[in-house]
């Protein structure tokens, strides 16, 4: 549990930055002139791009303190700037594809049944809504797990390269980090 409090606060800070960029930028550049739907779409789009980009750049920052590695923001940025575009694309896919699949599933459920908006209808179980809910939750969980694996793999690859350059502990640490990295291949 060492470093767990820092882990939580660092993740909260990342989320606050994403919300600040997603809401602040449109409002600062005339977002008030848009309709409510356009503004929500613009803010949502900015957040959907900003969050995986920020995770690609500094996503290893919260977990570094837990594992006892260099846990500064500059260290995380150093880990993150390597292969930022492929990492961003993987994180974007892990965040957005489950969300888009959920929207498509909800749309299909609404086409199958006009009452697919609630799990219970008139005291009876609505199976279409229940199945949609379960599938949506599974897709979201899969996306979060995929994002965790991408960031853990990025952290492990960086640590292996750091060890082989002589910047960290040698010997068993290289072997252990390599074996952990093999899990995520």
Q: Is 6 helix (H, G, I), strand (E, B) or coil?
A: helix
* Contact call for residues 154 and 79 (beta carbons, < 8 A): yes
What are the tokens at 139?
């897709």
Across the chain, where does the E strand assignment appear? 120-121, 124-125
What are the tokens at 71?
């846990």
Overall average pLDDT of the 50-69 stretch: 80
Separation in Å, CA 101 to CA 8, 38, 105, 116, 140? 29, 22, 6, 16, 10
pTM: 0.73
Q: How far apart are CA 98 and CA 116, in angstroms?
A: 19
Task: Sort 140 into a burial class: Cβ within 10 Å, 0-12 / 13-18 / 19+.
Answer: middle
β-pair partners for 124: 121
Q: How far apart are CA 54 and CA 66, in angstroms?
A: 20
Note the pLDDT tens digit of each residue in 30-39.
877 888 898 8
Q: Is 125 helix (H, G, I), strand (E, B) or coil?
A: strand
Note the pLDDT tens digit of each residue in 94-139.
999 998 998 888 888 777 766 656 666 677 777 777 888 899 899 9
Say what the pLDDT of residue 21 is.
Answer: 93
Domain ranges across the chain: 1-81, 101-185
């Amino acid at each position: 549990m060492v470093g767990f409090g820092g882990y939580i606060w660092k993740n909260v800070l990342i989320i606050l930055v994403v919300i600040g960029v997603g809401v602040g930028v449109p409002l600062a550049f005339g977002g008030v002139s848009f309709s409510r739907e356009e503004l929500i779409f613009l803010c949502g789009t900015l957040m959907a791009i900003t969050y995986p980009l920020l995770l690609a750049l500094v996503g290893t920052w919260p977990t570094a303190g837990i594992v006892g590695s260099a846990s500064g923001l500059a260290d995380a940025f150093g880990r993150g700037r390597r292969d930022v575009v492929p990492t961003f694309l993987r994180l974007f896919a892990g965040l957005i594809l489950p969300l888009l699949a959920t929207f498509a599933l909800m749309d299909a459920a609404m086409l199958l049944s006009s009452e697919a908006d609630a799990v219970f209808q008139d005291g009876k179980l609505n199976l279409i809504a229940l199945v949609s809910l379960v599938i949506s939750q599974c897709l979201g969980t899969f996306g979060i797990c995929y994002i965790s694996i991408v960031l853990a793999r990025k952290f492990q690859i960086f640590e292996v390269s750091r060890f082989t350059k002589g910047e960290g502990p040698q010997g068993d640490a290289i072997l252990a980090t390599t074996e952990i990295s093999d899990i995520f291949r």
